[in-house]
Amino acid sequence: CVKSLPESIGNCQQLWGINLIGNKDLKSLPQSFMDMSSLSFVNIKDSNPNIKLPQGFESSFEEVDASEKGLQMIAFLKFASLV
């Protein structure tokens, strides 16, 4: 399980998605997520329900609960990716 992500993850400019499923000890997502221009998918299903999201994250990403479609994920998709 992942307990933390370093701010330096923001240097991974080609990273388009990250799966953090089941990381109950993950307390926050780094602010550098907001600097990752390619990042468009973040899956935090079964992770810490009180996870702290980076400033501006909720206005850039839309929460998607795909369980109603039979998929087992709760994820965030970047608004620009939805078009």
pLDDT in tens, the chain (83 residues): 889 999 999 999 999 999 998 999 999 999 999 999 899 889 888 888 899 999 998 888 888 766 555 544 456 777 654 44
Distance CA 48, CA 27 (A): 7
Q: Which token pair is 50? A: 């009180």
Residue showing tokens 């399980």: 1
Q: Could you give the count of Cα atoms lying within 13 Å of 71 in the half-sphere of its Cβ?
A: 9
Distance CA 36, CA 80 (A): 13
Residue 1 · residue 23 · CB < 8 Å: yes
* Confidence (pTM): 0.79
